[in-house]
């Protein structure tokens, strides 16, 4: 049984990590990671639901794939109500949040009711936000069903919905009471979906965990194939890296911004392209490529930058679609992480060590971006 900084690997290959965050209602919660984690966490889920009005939020696709596993999860509840949202980022609207709140009230939802959110990153973002604001906050369990959601969206308490003016512009910090990341659920994902999730793993590994980077390089084929046993330690390590950062800085005032490596341009690309042309992880991959360019100018060794770029290629990052540079710049100006002093950029200083650079001017970004958009990804 290997003990990591924030948890341990059980003899059955399951990882149990603990998150301790001072802000928010739940002082401490567990993240259970591994092949078969949902079965292993059955008794915790049952305790969470026991005697409560329980809402299980998912999407049509998730319900079709994993409905049976979910039914068992809410055993012992006073009553169980299924809630449904659309698949994908389109679920993250205020209108859908409102319809869920209203349905929960009509079904007798109370302050001690519980929400179980089962789905990809959009669904866990939405579910977290719905739980955060329903009657000023009820407890939520996150059951992420995509790799992206398992390594990133469901851990750390960030919840949000989108407005036409921007993604994640309305939200709350609301820690879950439990996260169950079962890598067996990932078997149904497309290869491109797994690849997009692995980009977020590389994002964290590049700045925070070089052994994890090496593991992804070594096992890329197994991981892209959705091997639940190979994915388990990768998800656990990425979650552990994220937990360390989140515990230090739950409200993203300082070091938590490191997790935004690749996201400054990534979010702007998604916004300029209308959220359909690229998966989130793919947009972040291109954002990382751009950040590596800025980092090279600030002393990142060319070999280290190239190593990350190569790994993104191995993860089959698709080419960047044609996009209007002016619209991308405009989206960056509206970025919610912008401050009066301008945008901060998260850049690798060396492998395993990121820094927050406040010296990147709009002029430099505009100049670099023009060159970047003119160069196809495969040429890097």
- Name the site residues for its own copies (rule: CB under 8 A): 22-25, 51-53, 78, 94, 98, 101-102, 105-106, 108, 110-112, 132-137, 158-160, 163-166, 168-173, 251-252, 333-334, 336-340
How far is the C-alpha of 141 from the C-alpha of 203, rounded, in Å?
25
Q: Which is nearer to its own copies, 165 or 221 (CB)?
A: 165
**Interacting residues of 228 by C-beta distance below 8 A, sequence separation 6+:** 35, 183, 184, 186, 187
How far is the C-alpha of 262 from the C-alpha of 314, rounded, in Å?
17
How far is the C-alpha of 76 from the C-alpha of 49, rounded, in Å?
6
Query: Nearest approach, Cβ of 6 to its own copies (angstroms)?
Result: 23
Q: Which is nearer to its own copies, 278 or 331 (CB)?
A: 331
How far is the C-alpha of 57 from the C-alpha of 117, rounded, in Å?
5
Query: Nearest approach, Cβ of 43 to its own copies (angstroms)?
Result: 20
Query: Nearest approach, Cβ of 106 to its own copies (angstroms)?
Result: 6
Q: Which is nearer to its own copies, 105 or 222 (CB)?
A: 105
Q: How many other CB atoms are there within 10 angstroms of residue 76's CB atom?
A: 15
The DSSP call for residue 342 is B
How far is the C-alpha of 184 from the C-alpha of 181, rounded, in Å?
9
Q: Which is nearer to its own copies, 86 or 137 (CB)?
A: 137
Q: Which is nearer to its own copies, 18 or 94 (CB)?
A: 94
How far is the C-alpha of 327 from the C-alpha of 325, rounded, in Å?
5
The pair of three-digit structure tokens given for residue 295, joined into one six-digit string = 């980092």
Query: Nearest approach, Cβ of 53 to its own copies (angstroms)?
Result: 7
Q: Which is nearer to its own copies, 26 or 357 (CB)?
A: 26
Beta carbons of 270 and 280 less than 8 angstroms apart: yes
Q: Is 318 exposed, middle or buried (0-12, 13-18, 19+ CB in 10 A)?
A: middle
If DSSP codes are grouped into helix, strand and coil, which group holds residue 176? coil
Query: Nearest approach, Cβ of 50 to its own copies (angstroms)?
Result: 10
Q: Which is nearer to its own copies, 176 or 285 (CB)?
A: 176
Give, for 346, the enclosing helix (H) or strand (E).
strand 345-350
How far is the C-alpha of 207 from the C-alpha of 218, rounded, in Å?
18
Q: Which of 85, 115, 239 is nearest to 177 (CA)?
A: 115
Query: Nearest approach, Cβ of 132 to its own copies (angstroms)?
Result: 7
Query: Nearest approach, Cβ of 129 to its own copies (angstroms)?
Result: 8
Query: Nearest approach, Cβ of 130 to its own copies (angstroms)?
Result: 9
Q: Which is nearer to its own copies, 77 or 198 (CB)?
A: 77
Beta carbons of 354 and 207 less than 8 angstroms apart: yes
Whole-angstrom CA distances from 19 to 10, 73, 176, 302 are 17, 22, 10, 36
Q: Which is nearer to its own copies, 75 or 210 (CB)?
A: 75
How far is the C-alpha of 236 from the C-alpha of 32, rounded, in Å?
9
Q: Which is nearer to its own copies, 112 or 214 (CB)?
A: 112
Query: Nearest approach, Cβ of 257 to its own copies (angstroms)?
Result: 11
Query: Nearest approach, Cβ of 357 to its own copies (angstroms)?
Result: 18
């Amino acid at each position: 049984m290997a003990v990591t900084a924030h948890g341990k690997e059980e003899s059955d290959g399951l990882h149990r990590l603990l998150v301790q965050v001072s802000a928010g209602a739940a002082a401490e919660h567990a993240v259970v990671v591994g092949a078969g984690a949902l079965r292993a966490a059955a008794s915790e889920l049952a305790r969470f639901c026991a005697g409560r009005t329980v809402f299980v939020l998912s999407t049509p696709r998730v319900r079709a794939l994993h409905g049976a596993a979910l039914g068992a999860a809410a055993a012992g509840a006073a009553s169980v109500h299924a809630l449904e949202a659309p698949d994908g980022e389109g679920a993250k609207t205020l209108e859908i949040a409102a319809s869920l709140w209203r349905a929960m009230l009509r079904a007798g939802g109370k302050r001690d009711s519980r929400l179980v959110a089962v789905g990809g990153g959009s669904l866990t973002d939405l579910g977290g936000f719905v739980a955060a604001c329903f009657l000023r906050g009820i407890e939520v369990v996150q059951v992420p069903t995509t790799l992206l959601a398992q390594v990133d969206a469901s851990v750390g308490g960030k919840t949000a919905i989108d407005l036409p003016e921007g993604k994640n512009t309305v939200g709350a910090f609301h820690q879950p009471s439990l996260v169950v990341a079962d890598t067996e659920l990932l078997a149904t994902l497309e290869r491109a979906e797994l690849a997009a999730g692995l980009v977020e793993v590389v994002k964290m590994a590049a700045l925070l965990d070089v052994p994890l980077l090496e593991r992804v390089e070594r096992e890329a084929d197994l991981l892209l194939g959705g091997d639940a046993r190979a994915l388990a330690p990768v998800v656990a390590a990425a979650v552990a890296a994220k937990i360390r950062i989140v515990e230090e800085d739950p409200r993203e005032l300082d070091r938590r911004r490191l997790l935004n490596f690749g996201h400054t341009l990534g979010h702007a690309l998604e916004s300029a392209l209308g959220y359909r042309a690229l998966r989130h992880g793919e947009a972040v991959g291109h954002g990382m490529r751009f950040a590596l360019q800025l980092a090279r100018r600030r002393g990142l060794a060319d070999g280290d930058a190239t190593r990350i770029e190569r790994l993104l290629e191995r993860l089959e990052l698709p080419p960047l679609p044609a996009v209007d540079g002016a619209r991308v710049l405009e989206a960056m100006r509206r970025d919610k992480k912008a401050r009066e002093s301008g945008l901060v950029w998260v850049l690798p200083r060396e492998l395993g060590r990121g820094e927050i650079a406040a010296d990147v001017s709009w002029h430099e970004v505009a100049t670099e971006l023009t060159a970047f958009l003119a160069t196809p990804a495969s040429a890097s």
